[in-house]
Chain A
């Protein structure tokens, strides 16, 4: 064990409520001691569950271990607690870029450079992504663009990862990734309720709120499409719009395969 890790370990032992776990976890991660780093990070996260830096550390460890899904979840959590977290934006941009989703890679990098405009690494990454986007032919239209009546729409896989679409909160901030994670849970809950009550598969979930109406449905097994509309949109019309979006999503999946 190196001196700095020994010192950080001693400091954390003396002050277990301190934020020393961040530095210790990071030091262990940099040395490739991922299991130990993760154990330290998760213990710290238990004490500071709302700390964006703690989620960011967990995400970077998962990313180093090749666990992209877990890294995605942790960075999304970091952003939920701290929407201006540059590290989480950078990480999500990296995952999006690796998955070929250049649009979202650019979105995350643009958001990060707004917070840290002088970061040369971010600016270079953004430039690379933008050049790459310009050099590619237009992608297949995502289902979101085929739901023009909607205030927002999201297509999500069973693990809470966004496949297409976007959603803005009341204040205008992008909540697509955070909502995607929740929608996967809602979808599982809907499927569970329908199954346990002996109703078979679920076909739709209409949600009426004072400021918006939502309609959820599963275009394919394991995915969920959510369409959000103005509260004045009749529930029946929204169901039709959502079904049209689901049909587009199914065609989109077929083209991807």
Chain B
């Protein structure tokens, strides 16, 4: 993993409640870089996040609005937050149920700008 990506992902995992952070290829859902503190399978996270991002982009396109700049999937036992980061990349954070979502949203947006 390059030092630049590593610094960005490590920064995300310092947000309270973030279990891991990944940089993903949006087209094929493959992991490019990761900073994981848990046993959540990075390849599965990457594939599922990319698939959901593609689905959302298609749905939003119907309305004529611009592509989403972030999404947050909230589930009973955890969540996923993701944001496009430059051409064809997706930054993804895996969260605990009680993560500080507001802080993570800002950190993710900042990280996406640094990657892009």
Contacts and interface: CB of A to CB of B under 8 A. Distances in A.
Are both chains from one complex? yes
Interface of A: 80, 167-171, 175, 178-179, 182-183, 185-186, 189-190, 192-194, 196-212, 214, 228, 235-236
B56 A211 contact: no
Contacts of A169: 62-64
Interface residues on B, range: 35 or more
A206 B59 CA distance: 14
- The secondary-structure label for the interface of chain A is mixed
Nearest to A188: B55
Nearest to B59: A182
Nearest to A213: B68
Interface of B: 40, 44-45, 48-49, 51-52, 55-56, 58-60, 62-80, 94, 101-102, 105
A47 B19 CA distance: 47
A189 B52 contact: yes
Contact of B48 (A175, A193, A201, A204): A193
Contact of A202 (B64, B69, B74, B94): B74
A200 B63 contact: no
A202 B78 CA distance: 9
B56 A186 contact: yes
B4 to A, nearest CB: 25
24 contacts: A169-B64, A170-B63, A179-B59, A186-B59, A190-B73, A193-B48, A193-B51, A193-B52, A193-B80, A194-B76, A198-B77, A199-B79, A202-B74, A203-B74, A203-B76, A204-B72, A205-B72, A206-B72, A206-B74, A207-B70, A210-B66, A211-B66, A228-B63, A236-B102
Nearest to B64: A170
Given A199-B79, A202-B75, A205-B72, A175 B63 contact: yes
B45 to A, nearest CB: 7
A210 B65 contact: yes
B98 to A, nearest CB: 13
A196 B68 contact: no
A182 B69 contact: no
A208 B74 contact: no
Given A208-B71, A209-B69, A179 B63 contact: yes
B46 to A, nearest CB: 11
A209 B68 CA distance: 4
A199 B56 contact: no
A201 B77 CA distance: 8
Query: Can you list the 5 inter-chain pairs with the closest CB atoms, starting with the nearest?
Result: A170-B64, A200-B76, A199-B75, A194-B75, A182-B59
B64 A199 contact: no
Contacts of B66: 209-211
Contacts of A185: 55, 59
A235 B105 contact: yes
B62 A197 contact: no
